[in-house]
Structure 1
Amino acid sequence: MTSLLREVIGDVLRRARVEQGRTLREVSDTARVSLGYLSEVERGRKEASSELLGAICGALEVPLSRVLTEAGDEMALEESRVALTREDAGAAHIDAATKVVIPHEVTMAVA
């Protein structure tokens, strides 16, 4: 199952914050967003508005375009994996319990 966009964006934001060694509190204070709401955004439970994303990206000093590009790239990879899995499952799957019966050759006598 593919992830929701808000989940992927949250992952990208969390990675950026952790890579900088910053706490949720530091980023929430700088972005002027409640700590609880920022946590919900990072966990993909809240859909952040464009203004809120802009404020969080500003606090992280990461361009919004980079966050959206990384999220888009991750979504594309996941969609490709799902498509390949579906192709493999549909084309090559034969249940081991399936039995094939091949009838014996029947000869007809001509009178």
Structure 2
Amino acid sequence: MRELSMRPLIKNGYSSDMEKTLSETPLLRSELGDVLRGIRQRQGRTLREVSSEAQVSLGYLSEVERGQKEASSELLEAITSALRVPLWFVLREVSERMAIIDGAVIPDAVPDELVPVTLIS
């Protein structure tokens, strides 16, 4: 099997000189499935309950949660609606996980230079 390395990314002032093989980076669908499963389990809900509310087969939802199937944007919307969480929340969680895996530092607060200044007169 041939290994592919990822080129460094330079965009918007961000530079990464980390070289990774594709096999070192988890699949997006795996991280997405982990996040969805975690939310469902923390709610104490079963696959059957969520699949019924999302109008998706139990087997397909199970495969999405295990990272074995890709989920379309429409399916993600149905699942997140059934879980009563906004899609952006799930995507943010997945994005943060992927960034941490890549070694990026996730700030806990907005940097001062990005906070608008209000002038008091």
TM-score, normalized by length of structure 2?
Answer: 0.66
Give the residue type in structure 1 aligned to 2:87.
Answer: L
Greater RCO (CA < 8 Å, at least 6 residues apart): 1
1:45 and 1:80 map into 2 onto residues whose CA distance is 25
Using the TM superposition, give the Cα deviation of residue 61 of structure 1 relative to its aligned residue in structure 2, in angstroms.
Answer: 0.1
**1:7 matches 2:30:** yes
Partner of 2:41 in structure 1? 18
RMSD (Å), alpha carbons = 0.9
Identical-residue share of aligned pairs (%): 64
Choose 1 or 2 for highest CA Rg. 1
Provide structure 2 residue ranges, at least 5 long, that are not aligned to the other structure: 1-23, 105-121
Using the TM superposition, give the Cα deviation of residue 2 of structure 1 relative to its aligned residue in structure 2, in angstroms.
Answer: 1.3
Q: 2:82 aligns with which of 59, 64, 79?
A: 59
Poorly superposed stretches of 4+, deviation over 2 Å: none
Higher helix share: 1
Using the TM superposition, give the Cα deviation of residue 78 of structure 1 relative to its aligned residue in structure 2, in angstroms.
Answer: 0.5
2:71 and 2:83 map into 1 onto residues whose CA distance is 15
**CA distances 1:61-91 after superposition (whole Å, capped 9, x unpaired):** 010000000000000000118xxxxxxxxxx
Q: How many residue pairs end up in the alignment?
A: 81
**1:42 matches 2:65:** yes
**CA distances 1:27-82 after superposition (whole Å, capped 9, x unpaired):** 0000000000000000000000000000000000010000000000000000118x
Higher strand share: 2
Give the residue type in structure 2 aligned to 1:37.
Answer: Y
1:52 and 1:79 map into 2 onto residues whose CA distance is 27
Provide structure 1 residue ranges, at least 5 long, that are not aligned to the other structure: 82-111
Partner of 1:74 in structure 2? 97
